[in-house]
Amino acid sequence: MPISIRPLRNEFAGVVAGIDITRPISREEVAAIDAGMDKYAVLVFHDQDLTDEQQLAFTLNFGELERYQTAGHVRKREDHRLGPDIADFSNLDKHGKIMSPEDRVWFFKLGDHLWHSDSSFRPIPAKYSLLSGRIIPSWGANTELADMRGAYDALDARTRAEIEDLICEHSLIYSREAIGFTDLTPEEVAAFKPVRQRLVRAHPATGRKSLFLSSHAGAIIGWTIPEARMFLRDLTEHATQREFVYSHAWKPHDLVMWDNRATMHRARRFDRNEVRDVRRTTLAGHAPTVEQGPVP
């Protein structure tokens, strides 16, 4: 049967049917998925029992993988469980055992429970993220996604005018400070140097405006830190009201694909004594947001 996309939550989030992404897909299917992403910003694919190689192959239909010389993470390369192009969002160590709650990597990963946009702390933030659920805990572990387009549209005219040209600083230092992770090495501090991002973005395909928020945002250029952080918190509370949020309850072999240019997301709590094995591939963005010029 031909590919179809059914809305899950108004015009935010859709579920895709009629496609097997474990195999190579056609140009027409790629175009349909891209169009679906432009419309919904989040797509869900059920019953896709993917290998890492198949997930990578599917991902590469939509752009180039995000790669950086500096990993931007506290996990050392020799401690990775997976290959270099697959991000490990499990609670497992390199031996496949559940991490200790005292593990420094586990503590750092708890920052993913804050609302964020992937790689907003990079000079060029990410395009799409694709998260594959391999082993799912029996309780909790939803992924919540927030529509930054709808959140922008719902702002009053005065606030939209106020934020139009604001530039924020994003860093992993800010998001990890928020959960009490402050014991960073000098090398990590250097790797997490703040980068500048626009607070309002225009989608390159649709032109639709959205907020570009993240727990990684901790400053606004020209504002005092207290004022900036309170304002960013207010905007985040506005943008994550239930009317803007889709909560994905995972089933084994789901793949969820989202557009970081138009969404925020967060992980939810689960029983950390159960295995949660989810793996992400990430596509590189096309340009630094601050070099895009004023949003039209």
**Tens digits of pLDDT across the chain (296 residues):** 689 999 998 889 999 999 999 999 999 999 999 999 999 999 999 999 999 999 999 999 999 999 875 455 677 778 889 998 999 999 999 999 999 999 999 999 999 999 999 999 999 999 999 999 999 999 999 999 999 999 999 999 999 999 999 999 999 999 999 999 998 999 999 999 999 999 999 999 999 999 999 999 999 999 999 999 999 999 999 999 999 999 999 999 999 999 999 999 999 999 999 999 999 999 999 999 997 444 44
pTM for this model (two decimals): 0.94
Long-range contacts of 95-100 (CB under 8 A, 24+ apart): 98/272, 98/273, 98/275
Taking alpha carbons only, the member of 133, 91, 135 closest to residue 112 is 91
Residue with the two structure tokens 């789901």: 254
Length reported for the chain: 296
Chain centroid to CA 192: 17
CB 14 within 8 A of CB 43: yes
What phi, psi does 145 have (nearest 5°)? -130, 140
Task: Classify residue 148 as exposed, middle or buried by CB count within 10 Å of its CB (0-12, 13-18, 19+).
Answer: buried
Measured CA to CA, the distance from residue 206 to residue 196 in angstroms comes to 23
What phi, psi does 197 have (nearest 5°)? -140, 145
